Chains A and B, each alone.
Chain A
Amino acid sequence: MSTFDQVLTLVKDSCTHGEVAVDENATPRAIKISAHDLVEVCQNLHRSPATYFDMLSCITGIDNGAEAGTMEVVYNLYSIPFNIHLMLKVLLSRDHPQVHTVSHIWKTADWQEREIFDMYGISILNHPDLRRILMPADWEGFPLRKDYKHQAYYRNVKVEY
C-alpha cells in the first residue's frame, strides 16, 4: 500500500459531510474534499502519526470565472519526517465563498488566508484577524477575481494598468 493510499484512507475516514475525489491531474496528487470537512481532515492529517503533515507550504486561491461560478482554495501540505506531499482542494460557490480557517492548526495559515481574503474576497470563518494584507484597507474589489475591474481613481490618483 503506497503512502498516498494511506493518506487517502485517512482523508476518507475524516470526511463526514461530502464526497472525496482524487485528482490525478495534479502534481503532487490532489484530493478534493468538501469545504465542511476541511478542518477535520487537516486536523487528522496534522496529528496522525502515519502522515504527520507538519508543514503547510502554500495556500492558493483560484477563481474559475463567472461562467463556472466556482472558486477554489488549494492547500499544499508537506510532511517533513515522511517526505510526502499532498494537495487538498476545496471547491466553493462564487456567490458566497467561505471556508473555515486552519490557522489554529498551522500558524502559517494566518497570513496566507488573509492574502486569499484580500485577493479573492473569500471569507475565512473563525480567522483571528481577518484584514486586508497587501492592498490598502479602503481598496474596492478583489483584484485576482477574473471579472475584476479596477476603480478609476484612488485618492484622486488615476489607477492605471
Chain B
Amino acid sequence: MPTDRVQYISKSDNLVLSEPAKLKAENLHSEEMIINIGPQHPSTHGVLRLEVLMDGEIVKEVVPHIGYLHRCFEKHAENLPYNQVIPFVDRLDYVASMNSEHAYAMGVERMLGIADQLPKRVEYVRVLVAELNRIASHFIAIGTYGMDIGAFTPFFWVMRDREHILRLLEWASGARLLYNYIWIGGLFYDLPVGFEDRCSDFVKYIRPKLAELETVLIENKIFVDRTANVGVLPLDLAINGGVTGPMLRGSGLRFDLRKVDGYSVYPELEFEIPIGEGKMGTVGDCWDRTDVRMREIYESLKIIEQCLQKLISEHKRTRDFDPQALVPKKIRPKAQDFYVRAEIPKGELGFFFRSDGRSDVPFRCKCRSCSFVNLSVLPEISKGILVADLIAIIGSIDVVMGEVDR
C-alpha cells in the first residue's frame, strides 16, 4: 500500500457521526452532566463505551454503545464451510474458546445426526477441556473484578494459576487461547500421554489456592463493602431480560443448562449448581454473582476429577483410538432450522443454524451471545447509584467484548 495516501482523516466530529450520543446536552437540567466512559478504559473490560448522565456523583441514566469490536462473525460464517467456522467461534469468547467450540460442534453434530455415535472418550475429553477453560474464564472474571475495585493482589494470583491451565490446554491443542481443538465429529488430537497425571496434579495444587483466594478477596471486608447490596438484579428482571449464567444464578434461580438440557456426558457426572443466597447483602447483588463464580470453580474441579477418573479407567487411551474417526469428510446437513444452546462460563451460548441442504456452507448462522444479552440489563440495574458502583456492576456482569460485538 502506498504510504503517501492519506488513510484516515481525523475530524473532530468523526465520533459524533459514527456513534452519536443519545443524550443531548440541551436537555440537561442544572447540576446534571454527561460523562463519557470508554471505549478505551480499563474498567470497561475492553471496548465498551458508556454514556452516563450524572447528577453530581449519582448516575441517572446509562447508555451503552457497543460494536467497536465487531468482526462480522455471522457474515463470515455464511461464507465458510461448517468446519472452518470453528476458529471464528473461538474468537467470540476468547477467554473460554473450548466452551464455545463445544457448543458449536454439538449443534452441527446434532444437525448431521451423528451426536449419539460419538465415542465416550471424545465426550469426556471435551467436557474435561471445557471445564478447565471454564475455570480459566472464571479466574479472569474474578481477578479483573478484584482489580476493578482496588484489590490488586488476587489478579496476579489468578493469572499465575490460570497459566497452569493454559499450559495444559496448549499441551493438548498447541494453542494458548484459540484452540480449534474440538472438531465437528471428534477432536483434533487425543490427549497427550501424561496429560491425566499432570491434570490431577493441577487439581491437587489448585484447591488450597482457591481457599486462599476466597479468604483474600471474596470474604475480604473491603470487597464485601464494595459489592454487597450493589447492582441488585431482581429475578423477574433477570428472566425478562434474558440474563443467563452466573448472573441469573446469582439472582437465585438454580438454572444451568448443563443440568437442564443434560447435554454431552454431564448427566453422568455429579456436581452442584451454586446460586446466590444473599449471604452478604441482597440476593442478586454483585457479591452474589462473584461468589457463584467462585463456587462454580469448585464444581468444575469436581467434574474434572470425575472425567480424569473415567479417562484412566473405563475410557482409557488405546493405541488404535482415533479421535477423528467420526469427523465427516463433507459436512452437509439436510435442509432445516436448528437452535442449539449450551452453558459457557458467561451463560447460554446459542447458535441458530439454517442449512439449505445443498451446500456445505450455513445459509444462516446466528450467534446468541450471552455477554450481549447480559450487558443489555446494565441500564436497568444502574439507575440512582454512585459512579464507582457502576464500575463494580460492569465488572460483575463479566462481559467479554469479543462476544458482545461478535
Contacts and interface: CB of A to CB of B under 8 A. Distances in A.
A131 B22 contact: yes
Interface string B1-30: 000001111000010011110100000000
Given A76-B352, A87-B337, A107 B72 contact: no
A30 interface: yes
B368 A58 contact: yes
Interface string B356-400: 000000011010100011001100100000000000000000000
A156 B67 contact: no
B221 interface: no
B74 A144 contact: yes
Q: Which of B9, B242, B368 has the most CB of A within 10 A?
A: B242
B350 interface: yes
A27 B261 CA distance: 14
B338 A134 contact: no
A137 interface: yes
Interface stretch (A33-41, A49-57, A90-98): A49-57
Given A119-B74, A144-B74, A156-B6, A108 B242 contact: yes
A57 B368 contact: yes
B341 A57 contact: yes
Contact of B75 (A27, A144, A156): A144
Nearest to A138: B17
A17 B8 CA distance: 52
Interface residues of A, number: 41
A27 B341 CA distance: 12
A13 interface: no
Overall SS of chain B's interface: mixed
B149 interface: no
B70 A135 contact: yes
B74 A137 contact: no
Contacts, number: 109
B18 A138 contact: yes
A10 interface: no
A74 B338 CA distance: 11
Contacts of B39: none
Contacts of A129: 22
Interface string B63-100: 00011001010110010000000000000000000000
A106 B350 CA distance: 18
Nearest to B340: A27
Contacts of A61: 366
Contact of A134 (B339, B350, B373, B405): B405
A112 B373 contact: yes
B67 A107 contact: no
A9 B205 CA distance: 57
B340 to A, nearest CB: 8
A54 B239 contact: yes
Interface in A138-161: 138, 143-144, 155-157
Contacts of B243: 108
Interface of B: 6-9, 14, 17-20, 22, 66-67, 70, 72, 74-75, 78, 110, 237, 239-243, 253, 255, 260, 335-339, 341, 348, 350, 352, 354, 363-364, 366, 368, 372-373, 376-377, 380, 405-406
Given A107-B380, A137-B17, 15 more contacts: A26-B338, A27-B337, A55-B242, A57-B339, A57-B348, A58-B350, A58-B368, A61-B366, A74-B337, A83-B260, A87-B337, A107-B237, A108-B243, A135-B67, A155-B14
Interface of A: 23, 25-28, 30, 54-58, 60-62, 74, 76, 80, 83, 85, 87, 106-108, 110-112, 119, 129, 131-138, 143-144, 155-157
